[in-house]
Chains A and B, each alone.
Chain A
Amino acid sequence: MLNTVKVKEENYHKGKYGENIAKDFLIKKGFNFIEANFENKIGEIDLIMTDNDWLVFIEVKYKSDDRFGVPEEMISKNKIWQVKKVAESYIVEKRHEMYKFKKYRIDAVCILGDKISHYENIE
């Protein structure tokens, strides 16, 4: 029988691994890192970074292979809605530091094996 605690722990590490890849990839692209894993009762944002004058909330999906589908499929409308809600509360919470950003967007980074795809401004 599968040990659920163990599986959850493994998944957490896999997620962390993917987030690190995404972070390095975006920094190379010229993004600035602000925060990782911002959490509240609604949900979690994997990465918060800046791209010039944009404040970018990033959802990262990592999959080692496509036996169960591509990572893009795993980002549902609900997930985007959740990220949006968390992002809104983040902006309100940190308004004193974030006032300089006028533009916000949500990006997705999908990693399949070694292939990294970056989608800007998903809705």
Chain B
Amino acid sequence: MLTKIWSAANYGLEAVQIETEVNVAEKGFPGFTIVGLASKAVEEAKERVKTAIINCDMEFPTAKITVNLAPADLPKEGAYYDLPIAVGILASSDQINLPDDKEYYFGELSLDGSLRHSRGVFLLAILAKEKGVKKIFVPRLCANEAAVVEGIEVYPVNSLKDLIRHLRGDKLIEPLKYVESHELLDKSIIQFDFSEILGQESAKRALEIAAAGGHNVFLMGPPGSGKTMLSRALPGILPPLSEDESLEVTKIYSITGNIPSGGSMIRNRPFRSPHHTTSQVGLIGGGSNPRPGEISLAHRGVLFIDEFPELSRISLEALRQPIEDGYVSISRASGSVTFPCQFMLVAAANPCPCGYLGDEKKECKCNVHQVLNYQKKLSGPIMDRIDIHLNVPSVDVNKLMVKNVDNTSEKSEVIRERVIKAREIQKIRFKNAKGVYCNSDMKNKHLKEWAKLEESANLLLKNAVNKFSLSARTYFRLIKVSRTIADLAASDTIKEVHIAEALQYRVRTGE
């Protein structure tokens, strides 16, 4: 008998409907074949499905079983076809009856019949809503991801046994209640508080501006000056994700299997810190069935790269286009996929290989050639894309010995309040622009309307561009940073002081 079960495949950031046809033939030599461009993981479903069915006290038919995953020209990856195949076999051998309505089955089986955490449940739920499918059966461990999608019934399935009981009508599974996504706010644990960092007031101010406008930051300083600590404290002042942003981030996290068991929406801005040996594919995304890389995982959040010049030349230069565009297109033999990657780049580096070039107390031991080689890695195009360049000098010992810490530095919470306020202003400003959430997302065409400069500010900017021979891109980026500074000061127009402060973060040592 032939049974058709519906499921989905994840392709890029979208789910595609997959029809799983299962035929249990009455005649023919017993066997189990899966066709439809199945990868090794799908092939291995045979053993999992067979053992799981037997371990659920059901009969695995000794017959010729053929499974077809249609459309046949789309490569199938992953283990989540286990459940549709198992249900198909049971239905085809008349052990259970399926309703006539279209339903989605999705999940990886364990040998004992229980369902494992599977990637991409959130996307499946979105697809179900799109296609008008009312019921989806997904592993309980990741059912919460789907529960935020309105208008569908999500059935959390513990094991194949439970599902069989449900389909037979013996013991029904309760569908999950729809959860409004703003109910899911949770507190994150932050490694460092800004008040713990002593000194570095100008760096803190710059990071506040960066967080408020989503600008890229480059921190340069000798070892031990607090570059890493500053960056690690950054998540504490980032504003929470808005509803729309949260959806975008959750999609990426669902597809990469990064949502923990029982978790649903991602509410905190991602903070990714890949090691500098990360390959180009790991950073940008790729693979024969393209998967998002670190830059996409950092979408709407922070990508922090410590020891920036140590990153391989290929990876470094590959960052250029995604930083500018906010998305990355990956083309492979199997097709082309676009992943969003509007992240805030925070890069940290030493000024030279020994680390003490330009330090007040310690002498640099590098020769000129070494320093040039080191700094050559940070090419013009990549540095041009960074809005805020910061020198983080080593901290004076007197500041470290201050006894009462609380009185001297602001807490992260206080800074965060200001950042959120600035973001609120931006939110109102960009409410009609799709895909623009903060100042750094603005395209150049938006600047005329949303970033009005006062006459004096305009003059200052013009002089600066001429004097430092800044590029056109830098010019626009300067305006964006000044816009953020103006937002922090709750000013409608960009004043001279705002431009002046933005310029201060622009000029680099050695220029």
Binding site for B on A (CB under 8 A): 70, 72-73, 75, 108, 119, 122-123
Contact of B62 among A70, A75, A122, A123 (CB under 8 A): A70
A119-B62 in contact (CB<8A): no
A68–chain B nearest beta-carbon distance, Å: 14
A119 CA to B30 CA, complexed, in Å:
9
- Complex: chain A residue closest to B30, CB-CB: A72
Measured between alpha carbons, how far is A85 from B10 in the docked complex, in Å?
A: 42
Q: Please name 9 pairs of A and B residues whose Cβ atoms are closer than 8 Å in the assembled complex, sorted by A.
A: A70-B62, A72-B29, A72-B30, A72-B62, A73-B30, A108-B29, A119-B29, A122-B29, A123-B29
Residues of A within 8 A of B29 (CB): 72, 75, 108, 119, 122-123
Least Cβ–Cβ distance between A71 and chain B, in angstroms:
10
Assess whether B28 is interfacial by the CB under 8 Å rule. Answer: yes
Shortest CB–CB separation between residue A80 and chain B, in angstroms? 9
Interface size bucket, B side?
Answer: under 10
* Known A70-B62, A72-B30, A122-B29; further 5 A-B contacts with Cβ < 8 A: A70-B30, A72-B62, A73-B30, A75-B29, A119-B28
A122 to B467, CA, bound (A): 84
The secondary structure that dominates the B interface is loop
Cα-based distance from A75 to B64 in the complex (angstroms): 13
Contact mask for chain B residues 61-74; partner A; CB cutoff 8 A; 1 contact, 0 none: 01000000000000
Report the separation of the CA atoms of residues A80 and B315 in the bound assembly, to the nearest whole angstrom.
50
Residue of A nearest to B28 (CB): A119
Enumerate chain B residues within 8 angstroms of A122, measured Cβ to Cβ. Answer: 28-29
**B residues 28-53 in Cβ contact with A at 8 Å:** 28-30
Q: Which residues of B contact A72 (CB under 8 A)?
A: 29-30, 62
Q: How far is the CA of A105 from the CA of B30 in the complex (A)?
A: 17
> In angstroms, how far is the closest chain B Cβ from the Cβ of A123?
8
**B-chain residues with CB within 8 Å of residue A123 when the two chains form the complex:** 29
Give me the 7 closest cross-chain CB pairs, A-B, nearest first: A122-B29, A119-B29, A72-B30, A70-B62, A72-B62, A108-B29, A119-B28
**In the complex, which residue of chain B has the Cβ closest to the Cβ of A76?**
B31
Among B28, B29, B30, B62, which residue has the most Cβ atoms of chain A within 10 A? B29
Report how far A76 CA is from B28 CA in the complex, Å. Answer: 15
Find chain A residues with CB under 8 A from B28 CB.
Answer: 119, 122
List which B158-174 residues lie within 8 A (CB) of chain A: none
Shortest Cβ distance from residue B331 to the other chain A in the assembled complex, whole angstroms: 36
Instruction: Say how far B216's CB is from chain A's closest CB, in angstroms.
Output: 56
Residues of B near A119 (CB, < 8 A) are 28-30
Q: Residues of B contacting A108 with CB < 8 Å?
A: 29
Q: How far is the CA of A72 from the CA of B65 in the complex (A)?
A: 13
Q: Which of B62-110 contact A (CB under 8 A)?
A: 62
Whose C-beta in chain B lies nearest to the C-beta of A80? B29
Mask: chain B, 3-39; 1 = CB below 8 Å from A; 0 = not: 0000000000000000000000000111000000000
CA distance A70 to B50 in the complex (A): 14
Interchain CA distance A119-B29 in the complex, whole Å? 6
Closest CB-CB distance, A111 to chain B, in whole Å?
Answer: 14
Q: Which residues of A contact B62 (CB under 8 A)?
A: 70, 72
